[in-house]
Structure 1
Amino acid sequence: VRQSLVETSVLNRLCRLGTDYIRFAEFVEQYTGHVQQQDHHPSQQNQGGLHGIYLRAFCTGLDSVLQPYRQALLDLEQEFLADPHLSISHVNYSLDQVCHVIKEIHGCQILEAVHKHSCGGLPPVRSALEKILAVCHGVMYKQLSAWMLHGLLLDQHEEFFIKQGPSSGNVPSQPEEDDDDLGIGGLTGKQLRELQDLRLIEEENMLAPSLKQFSLRVEMLPSYIPVRVAEKILFVGESVQMFENQNVNLTRKGSILKNQEDTFAAELHRLKQQPLFSLVDFESVVDWIRSTVAEHLWKLMVEESDLLGQLKVIQLLVCFYAPQTREGPSRELSPREAPTSGWAALGLSYKVQWPLHILFTPAVLEKYNVVFKYLLSVRRVQAELQHCWALQMQRKHLKSNRTDAIKWRLRDHMAFLVDNLQYYLQVDVLESQFSQLLQQINATRDFESIRLAHDHFLSNLLAQSFILLKPVFHCLNEILDLCHSFCSLVSQNLGPLDERGAAQLSILVKGFSRQSSLLFKILSSVRNHQINSDLAQLLLRLDYNKYYTQAGGTLGSFGV
């Protein structure tokens, strides 16, 4: 009885083995036996759920793995014909193979699943799966060749790790809370933490590149291909497609790949012929192609399209010209903010020429526009305060009263703060960052290095101008609004102020005193905690002669 139980167990195992083979054979026949029919009936593929060229390649590799099993059956048949008394154990030994059930996966996910199971310790299993993986890699290399050499995305079934359209990962916007406003009594712990997180607040959102025409499909990227390599592949294909599709009259020699398409195609074919995937060889070839493309783009941008000249034009537009030079309406206005005045409608409009559009994207130009509007508001207030000084000089021979003295002293304090703020933005931010950008562009021949340097430049402009730091930005805007209100009051009342004008002046004095005190507390708190060099530099400009400190951190603190 015991012997029969053992034989029954072996027979059951052999039956399961035969059943698994039938399932594999039917699977292979189903997805490789009617290729032409599937091509003409895509709707049937969608109904079936499983389709794609990676699946067909997998079936081809699976069929080749089943060939030794079929050959073993033929050998057993010959052995049984020669010796009908062979035991069941001999059959079991001859057909000792391992079959794994493969879960439902799609596209390049098949590469990941096969690679994962090929890392096992059983040599027969590893060898079989490596053979399947090599066949599947053949499809990937064909897609890579089409994408990297010709800019063609051959992906009918959405199986490749590059897709057309933006990435699905969206960064949620930072909510604005009313309780973020600073009080008069000093800094709270929450506000100080907000200052300490300057480099993180909204910077990723503000500098996120505009929606690309192509992006990574991360869920299809095999784990043994790093994201950094996939990003290089994406960059090469996008650049090749942009270059080939754009009909421009540029004096260029050869293609973006410098007529090395055949060489690169041969290298990719060599990788395809390798029985095992080598990340070192793979990344080396990708880097070779990427560096060729990046160098050509650098030459196209810097030498032929005069990138440095275009950057200088933008820098001059962003710099502080007198407001009288900007009275023409702008064609660029963010739909999020409705202009309340002619000044609010002013913005930066710049027509980008090919191929500079891949550097100056709409999102990047919007950031320049944000910086431009902020700097223009500072320059406008500075010019208004200078105009008030001219009015003061015209009336200096006339008799003045105590209210006039308070008025002109307030103007001096406002001009002191605004002039030093303008000097900080002009010298410590714009000129400093722009010179660093030019040095980095001249020090490389790689387009991606230029793009990274430009993104870093724009990031520093937004951060060091405190556009990303809500407490400081809000405080500075309040001060600018008070200065503008003061200039309007002076311009509308050329003579001595009446009772109503004196009351308005009193409100302006108290408001400016309050906001200047708040600004000094913010800057001093940051300096004491040694956490932000930009705020410390602004404090140095404002308090270079210690007048701010000697005044108790308050400007305009005098009664009416």
Structure 2
Amino acid sequence: MLIASLPEEVLYALLGYPGSVVVLCADGTFGLADDLVLDPSERRLIERLLQLGTCSAALDGFVTEQLYDWRGGGARDPHIAAFATGLEECLAPYRSCILALEQRLIADGTLPLLELQLSVDRFCLALPRLRSLAERVRAEAIGAAPLLDLLSDEHAVAVGHSRECVRLLLWHVQRVFLAQLSTWLLHGELLPASAASFFIQPVDAPVDAPAAAPAAAPAAAAAAPATAPDAEERLWRSYEVVVPLKPLLLPLRVAEQALFVGKAARLLRAAAAPPSGSRRGGGGTRGGGRGAASELVSALDGFESELGELRCSRRVASVGEVGAAVGRMGAIATRLLWSHLVLERGLPRLLEALKAHFLLGRGEVYHRLLLELLPAMRKPPAPSLDLGLALSHALAASGPERPHEAGLALTLPPAAAGESAYAAWRRLGLRLPVEWPLSLLCGGEALRRYSALFSRLLTVKRVQMELHAAWASQMGRGERGRSPPEQAALRPLWRLRAHMAFWVDSLQYYLQVDVLDVGWQALAAAAAEEEDFEALAAAHEATLASLSSQCFLQAGSVSAALHSLFQLCLALCRLAELADTGLRQPAEWAAQVDAIAREFERQTSFLLAHLSSLASPQASPHLSQLLLRLNFNGMFRARAARPGTQNTADEEAPLMAGGVTRRAPPRACGYGYGGSGGGGGGGYPGGSYTEVEYHRGRKPSMSGSLIGSVVGLFLLAGATALLWTNEGSAVAAQYGLLEAERHHAAGTGGVAHLSGELRGRGDGMLRDDAFDVHAAAIWLERVAEVYLWKEHAHESRRKVPDGRGGTMTETVKTYSYREQWSSREVRSAEFRDPRAPANPSFDEALRDAGPGFSNERWSQPVTLHGLQLARGLLQQAGDGERLGHSVYAPGCEGGRPAIGCARLSWKHAPLGEVSVLARRARDGLEPWVASSGFELAMLRRGQHTPAAMFAAAAGANAAWKWGMRALGGVLVWAGWGLVLGPFSYLASWVPLLGGLVGCAVGLLALSLAAAQTLVVVALAWLWYRPLLSATLLALAAASLFLGYGSLRSLRRGGARAASAPRPAASAASAAAAAATARATGDSPASVQVGERLAQLKSMLDRGLITQADYDAKKEELLSRM
């Protein structure tokens, strides 16, 4: 049947309301009634238009549900509400269009189908795309960051009216996001409605606790109530960036800078509040913070208007604009926070207190403290010992109280059962409470590291004081009243004490002058001049790390050796105190002194060898300075390198030409001291292992020179092929890059440049569920390691006399053994030292550690703007970085691990911002192939423009090209040198001519190599850069001309060498001897004897025979005459 109301029914359906002609189908779409009589083409056209009605109805339902009829559980997400508001605004033009068509229908009484189609044609792509977005938002319960990412991706690929609609949706959602960001940046607060979906979230992060509870002042500890952490500090540390909630287009550095700005705004606004009645000490007054806070408020007013304009303008804010605004706010916030801490809260006074006490800047205080504690330090600390009283006496004796001294307290963990006195007292630390906000810079972890520095420095000072006290007692008594045998028995002890004092004094001077003063001056300069809190925090962290490293707190083997030396020094001081008693049993007492002396020499030798292997004038100048102080005249190193007596000639095998002599390996250098408290297992008792070899080079032969010539020909052929292939690939790469750059500039050829955040599957997290480790990464790898002995070899060579008038090469190989974490098997059976310690099996150690101690790797597909990256691109994301998390096997957690202990660590290649140059395929990114066969698939971390990436690719191609050219040229030079080797051999028989011909051969080989290299390069570039090719050919011709002159001199030298006799004796010397004999009228026998003597003299001069052999042969010849 023909329905006259069809146009009206279609218009109502386009608005989402079906009727009798346009009905609602079972699948939720609109369709025409089955009994409606229409031409098939018209039916198909109308049903295609009715799809807009289906989309309109779905969008109306979504908008009504989110804006006018919310029935979801919990609060409504403001980002979804903004998305719905944007949909409502996008539907307004569509509804206006349908209303205009209805008015035309009422006025004219008819509405042509063609006019209807043309009127709604621009909505045919937009409404289905909007419906798809709405359904995805409803189905996935999508959050703020995924919604922004989704709309950003859609906006990047949409066209026409669809792009305008998506832009409108993105603007509405971005307004809500910018409102929350502005609130955080300006006030450090989260809006209740959008707090759950913002990328800055509160977490349960407790405030850092002090380094250790004081073991002294029990009365004070009982009187001080346990207070809760400061509220301001808790708020500062309770917020962090949650990466899964961060929009991908927002760089992580901008997010972290926004986190810092909000925290600084909160802190400085709180500092401007009126001071409370709470007690504030040491670092200035709270009211002093109003200066920086008032300046911050005035600065934030200007930023508030800027952010408001950015939020309210009818355009989408770019990431660059947001990042620039956050960057400017960050610069002001870090400057004002620096001003608040340094100028208003007295940070310089805190740094002075840290240097004065933790770094022993006030030496008189801790000198008095040690004088009071030295008697108690000879025994393990008693529970009743009051350390606080001793510190109070030392502080009171040094003058009036200074800032930050009121809360100073000594800390000493309880001694373990069976622990020695030294091991217990070396952990004596210091605690200093730091008020907020100064604890931002010197929090709990920093104070723990300062306490470790204090322990090390106080131990060195204690040992130095005890050694000097022993010297004072010696000088006080002198040698008067002692018999000559007693004086002789005491001299080794006082000599050893002097050596120990020299070592400890040099170490103390190094620590105080070369390390602490230099490092602290840099930190003080940064605190006074930087005017940037982040730069100040970085300088403080760098200084603290440098001090810890240069004081050997992180070098386990060095630390263990130092503690062993300190124990030996204290043991000698005890022996010095008991000298009168020990002299009654001189043999036993001398044995004890000798044992300490030998162990001291072993430990110092090891320490010198180990520090020398680590020292580098560029990388570690502090170690070079310490070695210079300890071994300025080379005595200790010489003693360590050649202990005991020197080997005599009888201990060596006869030296043949080209032979090797091995000398018995001496042992030196202990690897730790087994005494209690020495660090436990600092090494093995066998010491280092040294091998000495002597080599004398072989005399070249004609057969060897000919074989070298054949090898040189093959080398020339291979080098030429290498140069030719390299130039061909370089030409193809350069053509390919130019072609790719042209296609990208013209938008053709499929070359795509994309920048953004990599995105993984789901939330992007890879998880190791066995150990609750997770990371947003491309791949995550679990690495199993075992603590094993490792062999380290050091080799040195020098020329030494061979005892026969010549020289030979002495090769000294020293093998040392250190404990290290290893991720692979280390077979101790392959160690050079047969007495080296044994390693357990790597696999058995992992099995004993428990389940999960094995290597494993997880990965996931990664996309960039919804496009999956090929494997070749992901391999350019880097080798990965280590997560700051480790798990130790049971029994290996605390202190120094034992051999065979196992641990797990994790490496990952993090997701992040990248830039890619590749071909954009349907569902991914893959290499783009140029017409020359060159493949372009490039990934770089961070945001990079296409021009920068093309320039980087061209630079990498040029570096590879020139590197291969240099390698090919060196190989060609070596080949020509081998080919021309016989000429040098022939000329070597003539003493003077041999050197000249050798120089000419070298120059000729260099000339031929340069010419051949230039010719190959020129021929390869002949069709690409003719001008450059002609220049290279001209240079090749010049090289050939230079080589021609060398060839002429080589021919003259070869002719002279060919006419020279082959015997070893000099032809000139023999001829001179024969002429002399004839001139004197001697017989032919006399002439032969003279020639033979001349030959023997030449052999003696060249080191082929000894003087004794020459004299014997001479006497034999003279006896025949």
* TM-score computed with the length of structure 2 as normaliser: 0.41
SS state at 2:432 partner: coil
Q: Does 1:265 align with 2:304?
A: yes
Distance in 2, matches of 1:347 and 1:276, equals 57
Aligned to 2:607: 519
Aligned to 2:64: 29
Distance in 1, matches of 2:95 and 2:588, equals 104
Distance in 2, matches of 1:534 and 1:15, equals 81
What CA deviation, in whole Å up to 9, does each residue of 1:438-474 have, x standing for no partner?
Answer: 2222222222222222122112112222222333333
Residue 349 of structure 2 aligns with an amino acid whose one-letter code is G
Matches within 5 A, 1:170-209: none
Q: 1:267/1:431 Cα in 2 relative to 1: closer, same or farther (>3 Å)?
A: same
Kept in 2, the 8 Å contact 1:54–1:108? The answer is no
Aligned to 1:233: 258
Matches within 5 A, 1:49-88: 51-78=76-103, 82-87=109-114
Matches within 5 A, 1:204-353: 212-245=237-270, 248=275, 249-251=286-288, 252-253=290-291, 255=294, 257-274=296-313, 275-320=315-360, 321=363, 322-325=366-369, 327=373, 328-329=387-388, 331=409, 333=411, 343-344=425-426, 346-353=428-435
Distance in 2, matches of 1:9 and 1:519, equals 91
Q: How many residues align?
A: 504
SS state at 1:163 partner: strand
Aligned to 1:543: 631
Aligned to 1:356: 438
Q: 1:117/1:505 Cα in 2 relative to 1: closer, same or farther (>3 Å)?
A: farther
Name segments (4+ residues, structure 1) moved above 6 Å: 3-9, 334-339, 554-558
Distance in 1, matches of 2:178 and 2:605, equals 65
SS state at 2:240 partner: strand
Q: 1:405/1:59 Cα in 2 relative to 1: closer, same or farther (>3 Å)?
A: farther
What CA deviation, in whole Å up to 9, does each residue of 1:16-47 have, x standing for no partner?
Answer: 54444433333333232256x76xxxxx239x
SS state at 1:119 partner: helix
In the TM superposition, residue 85 of structure 1 has moved relative to its aligned partner by: 4.5
Segments of structure 2 that go 5 or more residues without pairing to the other structure are 1-37, 206-234, 276-285, 374-386, 389-407, 645-667, 670-1121
**Aligned counterpart for 1:150 among listed residues 184, 187, 195:** 187
Distance in 2, matches of 1:462 and 1:405, equals 38
Distance in 2, matches of 1:142 and 1:374, equals 52
Residue 369 of structure 1 aligns with an amino acid whose one-letter code is S
Kept in 2, the 8 Å contact 1:512–1:555? The answer is no
Kept in 2, the 8 Å contact 1:166–1:215? The answer is no
SS state at 1:224 partner: coil
In the TM superposition, residue 163 of structure 1 has moved relative to its aligned partner by: 1.4
Distance in 1, matches of 2:558 and 2:62, equals 66
Q: 1:83/1:530 Cα in 2 relative to 1: closer, same or farther (>3 Å)?
A: same
Distance in 2, matches of 1:355 and 1:243, equals 10
Residue 196 of structure 2 aligns with an amino acid whose one-letter code is E
Residue 439 of structure 1 aligns with an amino acid whose one-letter code is A
Distance in 2, matches of 1:67 and 1:353, equals 59
Segments of structure 1 that go 5 or more residues without pairing to the other structure are 39-43, 168-209
Kept in 2, the 8 Å contact 1:413–1:555? The answer is no
Aligned to 1:182: none
Aligned to 1:164: 202
In proportion to residue count, which structure has more helix? 1
Distance in 1, matches of 2:187 and 2:245, equals 22
**Aligned counterpart for 1:455 among listed residues 541, 548, 570:** 541
Distance in 2, matches of 1:540 and 1:10, equals 93
Distance in 2, matches of 1:552 and 1:370, equals 31
- Between structure 1 and structure 2, the one with the greater Rg is 2
Kept in 2, the 8 Å contact 1:347–1:369? The answer is yes
Q: 1:458/1:531 Cα in 2 relative to 1: closer, same or farther (>3 Å)?
A: closer
Distance in 2, matches of 1:493 and 1:166, equals 61
Distance in 2, matches of 1:20 and 1:240, equals 47
Distance in 1, matches of 2:91 and 2:416, equals 69
Kept in 2, the 8 Å contact 1:161–1:220? The answer is yes
SS state at 1:57 partner: helix
Kept in 1, the 8 Å contact 2:467–2:501? The answer is yes
Kept in 2, the 8 Å contact 1:548–1:554? The answer is no
Residue 296 of structure 1 aligns with an amino acid whose one-letter code is L
In the TM superposition, residue 343 of structure 1 has moved relative to its aligned partner by: 2.7
Residue 417 of structure 1 aligns with an amino acid whose one-letter code is W
Q: Does 1:108 align with 2:145?
A: yes
Q: 1:161/1:555 Cα in 2 relative to 1: closer, same or farther (>3 Å)?
A: farther
Kept in 2, the 8 Å contact 1:162–1:216? The answer is yes
Matches within 5 A, 1:377-416: 377-397=459-479, 398-399=482-483, 400=486, 404-416=490-502
Q: 1:337/1:164 Cα in 2 relative to 1: closer, same or farther (>3 Å)?
A: farther
Q: 1:491/1:22 Cα in 2 relative to 1: closer, same or farther (>3 Å)?
A: farther
Q: 1:505/1:17 Cα in 2 relative to 1: closer, same or farther (>3 Å)?
A: farther
Kept in 1, the 8 Å contact 2:359–2:453? The answer is no
Kept in 2, the 8 Å contact 1:410–1:509? The answer is yes
SS state at 1:215 partner: strand
**Aligned counterpart for 2:566 among listed residues 480, 495, 515:** 480
Q: 1:243/1:5 Cα in 2 relative to 1: closer, same or farther (>3 Å)?
A: same
Higher relative contact order (CA 8 A, sep 6+): 1
Kept in 1, the 8 Å contact 2:413–2:427? The answer is no
Residue 620 of structure 2 aligns with an amino acid whose one-letter code is N
Distance in 2, matches of 1:529 and 1:344, equals 31
Q: 1:473/1:293 Cα in 2 relative to 1: closer, same or farther (>3 Å)?
A: same
Q: Sequence identity, in percent?
A: 30
Matches within 5 A, 1:132-147: 132-147=169-184
**Aligned counterpart for 1:433 among listed residues 506, 516, 519:** 519
Residue 269 of structure 1 aligns with an amino acid whose one-letter code is G
Distance in 1, matches of 2:67 and 2:488, equals 97
In proportion to residue count, which structure has more strand? 2
Residue 396 of structure 1 aligns with an amino acid whose one-letter code is G
Kept in 1, the 8 Å contact 2:464–2:505? The answer is yes
SS state at 2:497 partner: helix
SS state at 2:197 partner: coil
Q: Does 1:125 align with 2:162?
A: yes
In the TM superposition, residue 277 of structure 1 has moved relative to its aligned partner by: 1.1
Q: 1:403/1:215 Cα in 2 relative to 1: closer, same or farther (>3 Å)?
A: farther
In the TM superposition, residue 230 of structure 1 has moved relative to its aligned partner by: 1.9
Residue 265 of structure 1 aligns with an amino acid whose one-letter code is E
Kept in 1, the 8 Å contact 2:250–2:319? The answer is yes
Q: 1:334/1:391 Cα in 2 relative to 1: closer, same or farther (>3 Å)?
A: closer
Distance in 2, matches of 1:300 and 1:450, equals 13
Distance in 2, matches of 1:116 and 1:89, equals 30
What CA deviation, in whole Å up to 9, does each residue of 1:477-523 have, x standing for no partner?
Answer: 33223333333443455543646655544443333222212111122
Aligned to 1:188: none
